[in-house]
Amino acid sequence: MDNASRSRTIAEWIASTRPLGGAWDEIHRDEQTVRPVWERYFQAMGPLTAVELSQRWEDAKRILRDNGVSYNVYADPRGADRPWQLDAIPQVMEEEEWQILSDGISQRARLLDALLEDIYGSQATLVEGVLPAGLVFANPGYLRPLQGVCPRGGHWLHLYACELARDADGGWVVLADRTQAPAGAGYVLENRIVLSRAFPEAYRAARVLRLAPYFMRMRRSLQAMGGRDHPHIVLLTPGPFSETYFEHAYLSRYLGFTLAEGGDLAVRDERVFLKTLGGLQPVDVIVRRMDDDFCDPLELRGDSNLGIPGLVQAVRAGNVAVANSLGSGVVECSALMAYLPDLCRFLLKEELLLPSVPSTWCGEPEGLQKVLGCLETLVAKPAFPSMRAEPVFCDRLGDQGRQILSDRIRREPENWSGQSLVPMSGTVEWSGTHFRPRGMALRMFACRSENGFEVLPGGMARISNEPGRANLAIQSGGGSKDLWVMSPHPIADVSLLPSAKHSEVFRRSGIDLPSRVADNLFWLGRYAERAEGIARISRAALGRLSGELSLADGGELGVLLTAMRNIGMLAANPPSGRFGIEGAEHEVIASIFLADKGMGLQQTLAALHQAGFQVRDRISNDTWRILHHLGRDFAPGRRQGSSSVGDVLSLLDTLLLHLSALAGNSKENTTRGFGWRFLDLGRRLERAQFTLDMLGIVQEASNDGHLGLEALLEVFDSSITYRSRYLTELQFAQAVDLILNDDGNPRSLLFQLQALGRHLDALPKLQESPFPRLEQALVLQAVTDLRLIDFPSLARDPSGVERTRLGELLVRLRRDLPTISDCLTRAWLSHAETTRQLSRGNA
Amino acid sequence: MIYKIRHETIYSYDDPVQLSHNLAHLHPIDGFRQSVSFFQLTVAPEPAVISERVDGWGNLAHFLLVQEAHKEFRIVAESTVEVKPAHLPILVETQVWEEVAASMRPRPRGAVAIASQFRHPSPFVPALAQAREYALKSFIPSRSIAEAAFDLMHRIHEEFEYDPKATSVATPLAEVFSCKHGVCQDFSHAMIGCLRSLGLPARYVSGYLETRPPPGKPRLVGADASHAWVQFWCPDWGWIDLDPTNDVSPSERHVTVAVGRDFGDVTPLKGLLLGGGGQVVRVSVDVAPLEGNSQGNFRRMSQQQMQQQ
């Protein structure tokens, strides 16, 4: 930014930015003046300069990053999730204009609901020829098992979204309807939080309509579908690899629903249940974010591993409400748009308020002729979204490409529709240093309310740098903007807290924790502890390599390297080529940064992040922020190779600090429910395992004295305790006592085993039995054996009989710990196995 | 003709099955040329839930949920069904096939609109260029639809080899076309694919054949298990049955259980299991004329079909 730019107010700058040619200009009324709604926005922003904007926006983007707002992009080389892109400048709209749009959107939602009822009911629209039968029957979204089903509450559509753009005259047209599982409302919320935090004065002054009341009413309407007080509502997600998983986790937390994957739910007696630690809990409403054909492998797609066998039957029996109903994807269909005006008259006896982009279905002969006649001016779209094909901008095709496309359309006309190109309206985007012109389309949302549909007073603007190329899929990247609907009247404050209706229900953390969540928390604990162990041992080794700590001889280092080889951090044999200190240094640093090491730090941190990601809805924002920070310095390609020992040591110090913060958070800020117990079980098991691994090596190395003890105490963070107790040279028995047998040392093995025992005793009983379960018995045995080791005798004769007993005990424990982990997994955590198809025979 | 029908399916598992969800299409259709005077479904172990429903095509399906651990699952469907003879139009007087196809295209109404749902590809019957090529040899220009459909049935019966070992449920239709062999289900899917490739509606029929032939008549192929054949849509007449496996137009010796787009819609029994390990299926079907109804009252032995999966 040059000096002149720095002091420019953003109002001046935006006003002087010319739009991309030809399109409707959102900002300017003519060459000289901006539109009144933007005038209001500029007033609200005040004399903010570009340099101030830049600073505030950097802070705001940090919030986005730290909250881990992301969008999964399939096959993205940059990893599973891509950071969310939000622009500093909102899209603004007067309440009056929004009201008109809102009427159109809610009518459209009513229309599509009525159409669904007709398609899955009497099919009058088909029999009367209002809608070509092929449009439904050739549509893979038409789910035959739902034919004749009456969904609970009588409605098919509960949540609706649409894509809107302005035509050349500034009129709004719908580019696409979303009825399957409309995504994006969660991102709108997050966008709003970030933007209102970055510009609080402007946000107040602009009198922006609040989003919270919409979500409150949406929740109320979903609750009403449950048919009883305090209905159990789950948000069904395909899982963390789904593109909008962030939003699923975010919305389920915001709305207070349980986030569930297909494997968390089961059907018994034509009812849906959530599998929890305490058994099966009934589910009343499913907010579905999974495509409907995947939802039941018995009656829908048999190859779906994500679904819930028997769900369709539960729906048919009226025992569960699904929003949106199974089958609602049939009307999310570009080919349908051409028939909406007629359908609106036929089904609602109303004129369609909000037009669609001019569209033609090729499944009817005249439609086919029309599309092929002017193909070069159209976007050829797959008629049905389940075909998962990309739209083709035909003006970009050469003669040959167009010929190939026409042949394809002629071969399977039913699968294609043609739509006119809509020139996107012009707006601006803040690049970080300057404003640049962009094209824009809007995604808006509606939900069912007591009387019809209510529209979210806000939305998401999708921006693109090509006029006329609305690429609507969030997946295709590109930025987003928050939509501010500005009211002429002052705005009342609202929050999502329940209304003044007094409740006398009190609760404690219960056993209604989904088994899958417990499983992930367990692994979160294990990976956090594993990362800490690896970081500590790496730090101890590198410290000795840097020479600053080299009081002891190279023997200590040798023990550490052997330990790292034994637990799999380093290759079993030193690589050939480099030798001595330099070779070791290279090897250790490589083990930290390389992604392909099973026990590498980088790999472990990635697994830790992944485990946290899977229970994003269960962990606090603070914990999530720590998790998100954790791996950043070690992310792939971040610092490979050339880093000096000093650099890496300071990275490890920071990492250990973050890991301590994570541990502290789970100790001080986590309710002692079953979730916490599984988190801690994972941690204790992993730490016990690590202790045994380390001790085994020192035990072998120290046959002739105290080799490795120094490093051992350091890795176990117990040097200070030892020194303050003994003030002498290191003794084997005393050091081992501190690390194994001192139940006051939170790093000792006994401490871990006792904690394990307490957790196991506290878990709910699956079967009533007076006897300990196998894992309880193993822990009890281990504690007893450990306490019975005769340490004085070990001190007298460090290589005598007691040393042998100790060795045997360590071997046995190394065998038993995995058994304990397996028992836990089997009894509590294993998703019930996945179902398989019955084999089928016929003549 | 009145039949007593018994259709038994037994699944044996290596390991206990904890839970199974099942969908059964075992109740013969009550309507068209048939009336069902008796039906009984016996299931062991006893299901926690049995619910009955009529689907969009008039089929009666049962949803069964077994929640108790079991190593054997046995389901017996018994019924008494009266089948009336089929009447056919005079083949050459039916509508020209191109006109029928054309009537489906622009915007069909009424019964035609509903029938038109069976002209689209379905999971087991994808659109195949081979099918169209094969069909056009029977569907020569301006031929009447029924005449062409009968000719197509003759050709499939002649040119496809019946071979129970050659295919399984998973064999794709393209392979059936290129190798020209299979069982009733493959023959039916092939014929449906041919008809649909021309824009003509065609349905898959799941049903049974009379087990013992009447004196002097040959035993029909596929009589020892559930059978499958085809229906095509003939304007002003309705659905007409054709059995390409036996090259006959089904009448009183075929009992209809269910109709759908293809095998997947009307599978006699499909299910999802928890546990179970390896499984063996035994199916036996017996379709006997009611005593005194036509011939002898000798004891009927059912044949068993063993299938190792």
CATH number at residue A404: 3.30.1490.270
Choose one of A421, A437, A469: the last residue of a domain. A421
Per-residue b/e over A604-621, b at no fewer than 16 CB within 10 Å? Answer: bbbbbbbbbbbbbbbbee
Inter-chain Cβ pairs, chain A and chain B, closer than 8 A: 140
Q: What is the CA radius of gyration of chain B?
A: 20
B276 interfaces chain A, CB cutoff of 8 Å: yes
Instruction: Give the one of A136, A310, A841 whose C-beta lies nearest to B281's C-beta.
Output: A841
A85 or B246: which leads in pLDDT? B246
Residues of A in contact with B274 (CB under 8 A): 832-833, 835
The answer as to whether A232 is a domain residue is no
Choose one of A421, A440, A467: the last residue of a domain. A421
Residue B121: phi and psi, rounded to 5, are -60, 155
Residues of A in contact with B13 (CB under 8 A): none
| Of residues B9, B21, B24, the one with CA closest to residue B274 | B21
* B contact residues 278-297, partner A, Cβ 8 Å cutoff: 279, 281, 283
Alpha-carbon distance of A516 to A276, in angstroms, equals 8
Alpha-carbon distance of B269 to B26, in angstroms, equals 8
Q: Supply B85's token pair.
A: 């003879």
The confidence score (pLDDT) of residue A230 equals 86
The confidence score (pLDDT) of residue A774 equals 87
Where helices occur in A336-379 by DSSP H, the ranges are 340-348, 365-373
Across the interface, whether the CB atoms of A298 and B20 are under 8 A apart is answered no
The confidence score (pLDDT) of residue A506 equals 62
Question: Rounded to whole angstroms, what are the CA distances from A687 to A155, A598, A683, A693?
Answer: 53, 18, 6, 10
The answer as to whether A649 is a domain residue is yes
Identify whether the C-beta of residue B6 lies closer than 8 Å to the C-beta of residue B285: yes
The confidence score (pLDDT) of residue A514 equals 81
The confidence score (pLDDT) of residue A475 equals 53
The confidence score (pLDDT) of residue A843 equals 39
pLDDT in tens, B291-303: 655 443 333 333 3
User: Quick one: closest CA in A to B279, which residue?
Assistant: A839
Gap from A322 CA to chain B (nearest CA, Å): 20
Alpha-carbon distance of A156 to A474, in angstroms, equals 25
The confidence score (pLDDT) of residue A500 equals 46
Q: Supply A349's token pair.
A: 């006896």
Q: Supply A713's token pair.
A: 């105490």
- Look up the ipTM and state it: 0.88
A503 interfaces chain B, CB cutoff of 8 Å: no
Alpha-carbon distance of A49 to A98, in angstroms, equals 29
Alpha-carbon distance of B196 to A206, in angstroms, equals 61
Residue B38: phi and psi, rounded to 5, are -150, 140
The confidence score (pLDDT) of residue A706 equals 65
pLDDT in tens, A603-615: 888 888 888 877 8
User: Quick one: closest CA in B to A303, which residue?
Assistant: B272
Query: What is the pairing mode between strands A233-237 and A258-261?
Result: parallel
B123 or A553: which leads in pLDDT? B123
Alpha-carbon distance of A696 to A698, in angstroms, equals 6
Can you list the domains of chain B with their CATH numbers?
Answer: 2-83+266-308 (2.60.40.2250), 91-264 (3.10.620.30)
The answer as to whether A555 is a domain residue is yes
pLDDT in tens, B132-188: 999 999 999 999 999 999 999 999 999 999 988 877 877 889 999 999 989 999 999
A303 interfaces chain B, CB cutoff of 8 Å: no
Residues of B in contact with A365 (CB under 8 A): 105-106
Instruction: Give the one of B48, B63, B67 whose C-beta lies nearest to A313's C-beta.
Output: B63
Sign of torsion, CA A500 A504 A510 A515? Answer: negative
The answer as to whether A408 is a domain residue is yes
Q: Which helix (H) or strand (E) holds B214?
A: none
- Coil, strand or helix: which one is A46? coil
Question: Rounded to whole angstroms, what are the CA distances from A285 to A218, A282, A511, B79?
Answer: 13, 10, 20, 39
Instruction: Give the one of A310, A366, A843 whose C-beta lies nearest to B65's C-beta.
Output: A310
pLDDT in tens, A718-752: 888 888 888 777 888 888 888 898 988 999 999 99
Angle between helix axes A674-701 and A749-762 (nearest 10 degrees) is 150
**Same domain (yes/no): A759, A628:** yes
**How many H helices and E strands in chain B?**
7, 14
Alpha-carbon distance of A777 to A773, in angstroms, equals 6
B305 interfaces chain A, CB cutoff of 8 Å: yes
- Coil, strand or helix: which one is A470? coil
Alpha-carbon distance of B224 to B213, in angstroms, equals 12
Identify whether the C-beta of residue A300 lies closer than 8 Å to the C-beta of residue A329: no
| Of residues A623, A524, A509, A529, the one with CA closest to residue A829 | A524
Identify whether the C-beta of residue B286 lies closer than 8 Å to the C-beta of residue B208: no
Residues of A in contact with B70 (CB under 8 A): none
Identify whether the C-beta of residue B281 lies closer than 8 Å to the C-beta of residue A841: yes
Residues paired with residue A464 on neighbouring β-strands, in sequence order: A439
Torsion of CA A277, A280, A285, A290, to 10 degrees: 70
Sign of torsion, CA A671 A674 A679 A685? Answer: positive
The three state secondary structure string of B144-209 is: EHHHHHHHHHHHHHHHCEECCCCCCCCCCHHHHHHHCEECHHHHHHHHHHHHHHCCCCEEEEEEEE
**How many H helices and E strands in chain A?**
29, 22
Q: What domain range includes position A793?
A: 515-829
Gap from A522 CA to chain B (nearest CA, Å): 25
The total number of residues written for chain B in this structure: 309
Residue A304: phi and psi, rounded to 5, are -80, 125
Instruction: Give the one of B56, B113, B267 whose C-beta lies nearest to A144's C-beta.
Output: B56
**Same domain (yes/no): A410, A520:** no
- Coil, strand or helix: which one is A326? coil
| Of residues A196, A215, A208, A214, the one with CA closest to residue A253 | A215
A644 or B257: which leads in pLDDT? B257
**CA contacts within 13 A on the Cβ side of A712:** 33
The answer as to whether A396 is a domain residue is yes
The answer as to whether A717 is a domain residue is yes
Question: Rounded to whole angstroms, what are the CA distances from A25 to A167, A425, A472, A769?
Answer: 11, 6, 20, 75
Alpha-carbon distance of A522 to A770, in angstroms, equals 26
The answer as to whether A117 is a domain residue is no
The confidence score (pLDDT) of residue A60 equals 83
Burial of B235 (0-12, 13-18, 19+ CB in 10 A): middle
Low-confidence ranges of chain A (pLDDT < 70): 1, 21-22, 66-83, 387-388, 466-478, 493-511, 547-554, 575-580, 595-599, 636-642, 701-706, 765-768, 828-843
Across the interface, whether the CB atoms of A133 and B108 are under 8 A apart is answered yes
* B contact residues 54-93, partner A, Cβ 8 Å cutoff: 54-56, 63, 65, 67
The confidence score (pLDDT) of residue A841 equals 44
A835 interfaces chain B, CB cutoff of 8 Å: yes
The confidence score (pLDDT) of residue B108 equals 87
**Same domain (yes/no): A539, A668:** yes
The confidence score (pLDDT) of residue B300 equals 35
A785 interfaces chain B, CB cutoff of 8 Å: no
Say how many domains are in chain A.
2
**Same domain (yes/no): A659, A794:** yes
Is the model's pLDDT at B271 over the cut of 90?
no
B219 interfaces chain A, CB cutoff of 8 Å: no
User: Quick one: closest CA in B to A140, which residue?
Assistant: B122
The answer as to whether A305 is a domain residue is no
| Of residues A395, A299, A217, A647, the one with CA closest to residue B260 | A299
Alpha-carbon distance of A542 to A592, in angstroms, equals 11
Across the interface, whether the CB atoms of B185 and A842 are under 8 A apart is answered yes
Gap from A453 CA to chain B (nearest CA, Å): 30
Give the confidence band of B204 by pLDDT, cuts at 50, 70, 90: very high
Across the interface, whether the CB atoms of B48 and A835 are under 8 A apart is answered no
For B66, residues 6+ apart whose C-beta sits below 8 A from its C-beta are B17, B19, B20, B22, B43, B45, B46, B47, B48, B73
The confidence score (pLDDT) of residue A829 equals 65
Choose one of A421, A444, A472: the last residue of a domain. A421
Alpha-carbon distance of A326 to A309, in angstroms, equals 14
Rounded to the nearest 5 degrees, what angle is found at the Cα of A533, between the Cα atoms of A528 and A534?
100
Identify whether the C-beta of residue A818 lies closer than 8 Å to the C-beta of residue A292: no
